[in-house]
Amino acid sequence: MKPALFFTILFVMLMSACSDRDRQSTYVSIATDKGEIVVKLYNDTPAHRDNFIKLAEAGFYDDLLFHRVIKDFMIQGGDPESRNAAPDAGLGSGGPGYTIPAEIVPTHYHKKGALAAARQSDNVNPRKESSGSQFYIVTGNVFTEGQLAALARQMMQYKEQQLFNALASERRAEIMQMRRDKNQAGLAALQEELVTQVKAQMPKSAAEFFSEEQRQAYTTVGGAPHLDGEYTVFGEVVEGFDVLDKIQAVATRAGDRPEKDIKMRVKVLQLGDRSK
């Protein structure tokens, strides 16, 4: 093959590969000794997108560990305290010193490959604010239709209770006064009112709890549907699912830390339109 022809073909191949990526979106490489994972960042979670870009461009993530790996669930990293951490160091509580307001978008869910922000639990973080740096990538399980339906029923009950508690908290002063007055009729009427409000904000049945797109994903590629609506999903894997599988399969010690450190290097491959 003539050199000029070779370079022409190579150029066309490279341009074709780049064209597969949406020019409006940002793509980021997460490189490890197991290989490279490429993620696409969502534009409708702009605070998380811009923060991830900022940290990647600053080299914040370089040489940090995937410090928590759970097979058939997820891999997690981004704790700055994991850099050069001793084998017995407790990891998972570090960050850049700030949190990010939740950007939970219903159409972004925890299918396999979902990129999401870690956070503290609801009891200390009721607003579901995200860690400023820690993230996880879902590996998950594949569900049967029956398993997904059963999970939907459980999640509906849990979310109904969450919503009821939140509404009751807003009326706490009124409830306490009724209790002091021993106004049982008033308490019963208020409870009925709150239950009606909860029902109005929930799907009519468990069959409607997951969208058709979610059901399709969870029964084919799999994921972690029990996390939906609880954590901000701000991107997804577009290349390197085989690397994701390799990482989730490594041997781990107590605390779910891999026995052999898995370091990452993160760099922005393509900056998309950030004006939206």
Q: What pLDDT is stored for residue 221 in this prediction?
A: 97
Q: Helix, strand or coil for residue 117?
A: strand
Do 117 and 243 belong to one domain? yes
Judge whether residue 174 has pLDDT over 50.
Answer: yes
Given a cut of 60, is residue 217 above it in pLDDT?
A: yes
Q: What is residue 206's predicted lDDT score, i.e. its pLDDT?
A: 79
Could you give the CA distance from residue 104 to residue 113 in angstroms, rounded to a whole number?
17
Q: What is the mean pLDDT of the chain?
A: 92
Is pLDDT above 90 for 8? no
64 and 177 belong to one structural domain: no
Total count of domains within the chain = 2
| 4 part of a folded domain | no
Residue 10's pLDDT band (boundaries 50, 70, 90)?
very low
Pair (135, 236) in one structural domain? yes
The pLDDT of residue 14: 46
For 87-106, write each residue's pLDDT tens digit: 999 999 999 999 999 999 99
Task: Say how far apart CA 133 and CA 175 lie, in whole Å.
Answer: 40
Q: Report the alpha-carbon distance of residue 140 to residue 15 in Å, rounded.
A: 33
Q: Check residue 3 and give its pLDDT.
A: 52
Question: Which of the listed residues 206, 234, 249 is the one where a domain comes to its end?
Answer: 206
6-10 mean pLDDT? 48
Are the CB atoms for 163 and 202 separated by under 8 Å?
yes
Q: Is the pLDDT of residue 20 over 80?
A: no
- Mean pLDDT score, 170-180: 95
Residue 129 lies in a domain: yes
Residue 89: name the closest of 70, 105, 109, 65 by CA: 65
Which stretch of 52-56, 197-201, 211-215, 243-247 has the lowest confidence by average pLDDT? 197-201
**pTM score, whole prediction:** 0.87
Which pLDDT does position 2 carry in this prediction? 53
* The pLDDT of residue 276: 59
Is residue 9 assigned to a domain? no
DSSP secondary structure string for all residues of 100-115: E-----TT---BTTEE
Reported as a single tens digit per residue, the pLDDT across 257-276 is 999 999 999 999 999 987 75
Domain range for 99: 24-142+221-270
Q: What is the C-alpha to C-alpha distance for residues 35 and 213, in angstroms, rounded to an integer?
A: 29
Q: What confidence category does residue 203 fall into, taking pLDDT thresholds of 50, 70 and 90? A: confident
Which pair of tokens denotes residue 102?
A: 């939740």
For residue 11, tell me if it sits in a domain.
no
Same domain, 179 and 264: no
Distance (Å, whole) CA 48 – CA 119: 13
Q: Which of 22-26, 188-192, 202-206, 225-229 has the lowest mean pLDDT?
A: 202-206
Q: Which residues 6+ apart lie within 8 Å of 15 measured at CB?
A: none
Same-domain pairing of 237 and 133: yes
- Domain assignment present for residue 16? The answer is no
